[in-house]
Structure 1
């Protein structure tokens, strides 16, 4: 058997490329530029300086209150770099929010430790990422200032809690400034009660009469004090109202009269904006503003495409200079003030009914040509142009992004609005991808079957383009994996290989996840078929891929499958190494476990069972049960059944283990290793119940074909008193078959037992010593605990006792209380239980222990139960007291 020991390269720190493969929008990290008419207000700058004494500053005011420019101006005067992030509506998803916040820190020159990682899925961020970020900031000798502008766009309670967690644990290493229109969801009452917050609200942000007079004069308006006072009274010092008034008044013949009219007659922001900003523009500029209101952001070329003109660059620059609610983002990109854009869109629908969908269709096609696929899809969907939107995903080879990447859930939600009346192979492929990604097999397979028939039927009129057929092959491979159909997977892979040469190499390089997902599905199907080395070839190509976060899901799944292969081959140490790598990949990129098979925790639980660390195994299975998908592929389901059955048997519940062994795994084709593992479990359960004949019936049919089953069959012969038959089975194993230590140790113990029962104690002693040496390297305890009573006398004497010392004894090792202390013995705690115990002594809550150890609260509760049992107590305080008496603390 080939020994594959090479592992994946260590993940490098993110370099500003998001999981979609595109650069992060760095304009969101830029401090907004102050216009020439900006008025610096020293009283507010001093207030912000004083706010550095508290961890949290809240700048909370209405739209147009001048919050952003105030904080931006203050931030430019600080000595230390400031991480600036302008929030977006997409930031309501935790993964998106934290990916951008980490990008903001790096863009500001704030070094972030590589182990912090970066989320790869929109729906969540792993607690370890937050813990490592907080610890990284707390270690610094200076305070890092982070400004979150337009934070009112972030409405997720989960993000608020996560932000509070990082702020609390970063200590003096972080000063957070929230610029928002609404009160955030953080527990502000706690910060207020402890004096840890500084707040600037509308009352402080409002312009005084003197400030308003200076602002108006910068706009060319020199009004009497009484007129300024009247304007301040009417607008209540609202910065946007003052600026809008100045812009409109300076164009009139009598600014003073205009101010009075504004004070008397204009109160609705929409009316004011339309009448005094939009209507004051030339007709061509009005039309331009109305048309670009459908865009999140725009550049001159895009505006020209929507307006069918050529002077957008000049017009936009003029609007920006005039402060006409057109903001410059940098690199020739602009955006409208959201409130202004919303009002303009409403006016567009009234003035030109039916024009908005056409504008969005034009924008979608321009954005796609320019490489902004995500924005193109948003515009196409908003225009209800589903044929274009689905075709863009498939033709750009982006269908894999429905499964992996930062915005996979956004894409899935976008296409959930696609009308069932939209038909054709491309829309059906997208529907199939969305449903299969959600493990909705019934609908996913129906859509895929229809799409495949349509693609095949199009051959008479000329075959569908290669991207369509390649997307179809990817989904066929996934369907084959989910249904346990290895032949179907091989056909899909063969079809894909034939199509690759018809797709531009650059496009494939832009979407490495497409090939990686296909190979992962193929490897899983081969694993189910028992072709371990063929599966390893496909999976290793994925696990070793150096791609970024967009490759996280395929790497996670590939590593988990490779770990299972090692475990089934009897190499628990190698399996543990790969399983931990898989778990690390998931945690580093905050992958939701429901998005994949999650084999890593299952393999770790299996290894814990082999080591007789049953509480640890149970904790992993309990954790995994909460997050498993409703529909699993056969590999994951069979693996879970085997591990659960082995744990039940190790805990002495042979009847439940037998039920697990009989549990069917739905699949188109049966799996040889699944049958083998079921046979092994059933045989061991029958032996535990004292039924060697039933055990023999369970395992004999597999013994000629599988080494592990031959060893188990030999063990059954020994239980029936047929030592010679047992040795014959072991001696009949193929010379070239070199099973891993999990199988080899059991085979050696069978030989040792046969020698012991035939009176050859010397040979038995020598063979047990060899088994101990092999088992100690892997900490394999179960084979010795399952060997039976014959081995106990051997382990209690001489050389064998030394070899078993420290890791294996008849029962479990104990720690005895030292002299002078109460005479009791404590069953040895595992390393993780000692970690929990130490934090228990520090008075940490269950949730705090979970966060500190990067595990779930349920896992901590499982460890606590085990600690209480081993210490013979029922409460936390008793556990700490008992542990101190036993010198465990």
Structure 2
């Protein structure tokens, strides 16, 4: 190697990548003769590392340096385990940025294997093992393997010492908070945020804070407060565009559009999620989230046939988005509460269901039981929902229940023996139920004439009798009834009437 540096100098480049700013590090490397740093593994890896927080574009810039370092490692069997593991971790980051998650997971495993081998001394294992665990944990989040991801992230954070930079700690804590939101505990996610936020506030902004900001907004969505974060979400979208975090930001756009009842905005964000999904490998979390977002948007649009196709093709063994609960919701939409109960029955027996999914299932189950007149079972489902949401701090599941049904359940629950947190949540719901209503099924936009036709249909009049009473043609009444059925998402008279009653469109 021309003008070879000793091992201490070779390692210094990588150490600077962990302790100094990227611009200063690049200047330091480039201050050496090209024929020196271009043949030095440590300096090449240091140069590659300076692009690690620049998303997909940075990953492409890092590749020439990383690939040259890997060639030199292959040609030099004596290369230290530290440099070998560092190269594998960087390769993992590049692959994660490109959406090649299966390959990224393999690289993270390779780094851990190197650190467990005879190539590595104890210092290497102490310094880099936690970094490799954290990287594997972040990838497992993106692949949807959330429970094992939590294990990697918690172990990596627990085992990390002072060599773990604030950037890496902030990113890992952000991913851990995302895991907590998706698996059910908003309260636990908020606890993680209390640890991470002071660290992030002391650091300049960068891509490493994206998971943290995403987690904050997911928490806000579960608490029905995402609209207050709309400016921050717009800023986040510009920062993560083209990165591995973009699809989660797009999901937040869907949630914001849902909260604001912007159906067109929901579909636009979902279409973009589909593009990202096609460009990724192993992004199971994206597929599951997009499936749930699309099915719910189609149901809100009244396109139950297409929603059924989406749910038929769903594959979510971890039940992060419970297909059975969504199918039950579709059954309610066409006035079939018995089928809704049947769809959900097994959810409460499945140990794989996260609490977050179970609360959504309980909300739909409670609604179906009310429509069937089984108030005792409805009370039990609502009490489960109330208990779990009081613990987790989440409110979004209550938005799945029509306002009139929710009011009834709240009134009945006030007679129960509730703890302080449950009582406080019940009082909050009681104070907001009329304003909040049910976002997915609220205020069907029937015209005055359509409401009149629907009311006469509910009174038992035939279309011909309605036409005679209103002094219009039979074809006009049939056209209005088709419009009513479409808006209510029903295909039969009984289904339309059941749906209208559940939404409060019919009060008799």
* TM score, norm. by length of structure 1: 0.43
For 1:482-881, list aligned pairs within 5 A: 482-500=97-115, 501-506=118-123, 509=126, 512=127, 514-545=128-159, 547-548=161-162, 550-587=164-201, 590-618=202-230, 620-622=232-234, 624-625=236-237, 628=239, 631-633=242-244, 636-663=245-272, 664-665=275-276, 667-702=279-314, 705-707=317-319, 708-733=322-347, 735-737=349-351, 739-795=353-409, 797-800=411-414, 803=423, 805-809=426-430, 811=432
- Residue of structure 1 equivalent to 2:488: none
Task: Note the C-alpha offset of 1:649.
Answer: 0.8
Please state whether the residue corresponding to 1:665 is helix, strand or coil: helix
In the alignment, does 2:68 pair up with 1:455? Answer: no
Residues 81, 121 of structure 2: 8 Å contact kept: no
Deviation of 1:640 after TM superposition, in Å, equals 1.4
Separation in 1, partners of 2:434, 2:337:
32
Does structure 2 retain, via aligned residues, the 8 Å contact 1:682–1:695? yes
How many equivalent pairs are there?
Answer: 417
Give the distance between the partners of 1:613 and 1:472, measured in 2 at CA.
42
Equivalent residue for 2:24, pick from 387, 410, 413: 410
Q: Distance in 1 between matches of 2:90 and 2:3?
A: 19
Preserved CA contact (<8 Å) 1:406 1:550:
no
Residues 394/618 of structure 1: CA separation in 2 closer, same or farther (3 Å cut): farther
Provide Cα deviations, 1:649-683, integer angstroms capped at 9, x if missing partner.
11111221122122232654132221111111112
User: What do the CA deviations read for 1:141-197 (whole angstroms, capped 9, x no partner)?
Assistant: xxxxxxxxxxxxxxxxxxxxxxxxxxxxxxxxxxxxxxxxxxxxxxxxxxxxxxxxx
The 5 A counterparts of 1:284-295 are: none
In structure 2, list runs of 5 or more residues that go unmatched. 417-422, 436-508
SS at match of 1:593: coil
Which runs of structure 2 are paired with 1:336-415 in the superposition (5 Å)? Answer: 392=8, 394-396=10-12, 399=14, 401-402=16-17, 404-415=18-29
Query: Cα gap change, 1:463/1:516 in structure 2, threshold over 3 Å: closer, same or farther?
Result: same
Residue by residue over 1:420-467, the C-alpha shift from the partner in whole angstroms, topping out at 9 and shown as x without a partner, is 6653362543332223344412221233233323432x15xx453434
1:430 to 31, 46, 53: 46
CA distance in 2, matches of 1:400, 1:468: 11
1:682/1:809 CA distance change after superposition, 3 Å: farther
Q: Does the C-alpha gap of structure 1 residues 390 and 442 become closer, same or farther in structure 2, counting only changes over 3 Å? A: farther
Q: Deviations over 1:768-816 (max 9, x none)?
A: 23322332333433222232245144146343499564321374699xx
- Give the Cα separation in 1 of the matches to 2:15 and 2:189: 28
In 1, Cα distance between the equivalents of 2:434 and 2:373? 30
Name the structure 1 match of 2:473.
Answer: none
Paired with 1:441 and 1:407, the residues of 2 have a C-alpha distance of: 17
Residues 594 and 388 of structure 1, relative CA distance in 2, 3 Å threshold: farther
Alpha-carbon offset, residue 607 of structure 1? 1.4
Q: Is the 8 A contact 1:711 1:746 kept in 2?
A: yes
**Which secondary structure does the structure 2 equivalent of 1:673 belong to?**
helix
Query: Counterparts of 1:526 and 1:717 in 2: how far apart (Å)?
Result: 34
Question: What whole-Å deviation, never above 9, does each CA across 1:198-242 have from its counterpart, x for those lacking one?
Answer: xxxxxxxxxxxxxxxxxxxxxxxxxxxxxxxxxxxxxxxxxxxxx
Indicate the residue corresponding to 2:461 in structure 1: none
Gaps of 5+ in 1: 1-384, 815-889
Question: How do 1:228-377 residues align onto structure 2 when only pairs under 5 Å count?
Answer: none
TM-score, normalised on structure 2?
0.72
Question: 1:108-167, CA deviations, whole angstroms, 9 ceiling, x for partnerless residues?
Answer: xxxxxxxxxxxxxxxxxxxxxxxxxxxxxxxxxxxxxxxxxxxxxxxxxxxxxxxxxxxx
Q: 1:503 to 1:698 in 2, by over 3 A?
A: same
1:475 aligns with 90
The Cα of 1:563 is off from its aligned counterpart by 1.1
Cα 1:508/1:776, change in 2 over 3 Å:
closer
CA separation in 1, counterparts of 2:337 and 2:145? Answer: 33
The answer as to whether partners of 1:486 and 1:529 remain within 8 angstroms in 2 is: yes
User: Structure 2 matches for 1:5-16, cutoff 5 A?
Assistant: none
Q: Which secondary structure does the structure 1 equivalent of 2:282 belong to? A: coil
Matches within 5 A, 1:135-174: none
For the pair 1:466 / 2:81, whether they are aligned, the reply is yes
Q: How far off is 1:713 after superposition?
A: 2.1
Distance 1:738 1:572, change over 3 A: farther
Q: Is the 8 A contact 2:311 2:327 kept in 1?
A: yes
The residue that corresponds to 1:290 in the other structure is none
Measured in 1, the distance between the counterparts of 2:325 and 2:10 equals 51
Q: RMSD between aligned alpha carbons?
A: 3.2
Q: Structure 1 residues 536, 771: CA separation in 2 closer, same or farther (over 3 Å shift)? A: closer
Question: 2:296, 2:186 → 1: CA distance?
Answer: 19
Does the 8 A contact of 1:405 with 1:550 survive in 2? no
- Aligned 1:201-216 pairs, distance under 5 A: none
Instruction: Name the one with the larger helix percent.
Output: 2
Q: Give, in whole Å, the separation in 2 of the partners of 1:703 and 1:800.
A: 39
Q: After alignment, is 436-445 or 803-812 more displaced?
A: 803-812
Please give the alpha-carbon distance, in whole angstroms, between the structure 1 residues aligned to 2:223 and 2:184: 13
Change (3 A) 1:760 1:507: closer
Higher relative strand content: 1
Matched residue of 1:415: which SS?
Answer: helix
Q: Is the 8 A contact 2:295 2:311 kept in 1?
A: yes
The 1:631/1:730 distance shift into structure 2, 3 A limit, reads same
Query: Which stretch shows the higher mean deviation, 672-681 or 771-780?
Result: 771-780
Superposition deviation, residue 596 in structure 1: 1.2
Distance 1:394 1:728, change over 3 A: farther
CA distance in 1, matches of 2:343, 2:316: 9
Contact 1:477–1:518 (CA under 8 A) maintained in structure 2: no
Cα distance in 2, alignment partners of residues 389 and 486 from structure 1 = 35
Q: Within 1, Cα distance between the matches of 2:430 and 2:231?
A: 24
Residue 573 of structure 1: CA displacement?
A: 1.6
CA–CA distance in structure 2, aligned partners of residues 503 and 703 of structure 1? 41
Sort the Cα spacing of 1:466 and 1:789 in 2 relative to 1 into closer, same or farther, 3 A.
closer
Deviation, structure 1 residue 549? 7.3
- 1:26-73: CA deviations, max 9, x gaps? xxxxxxxxxxxxxxxxxxxxxxxxxxxxxxxxxxxxxxxxxxxxxxxx
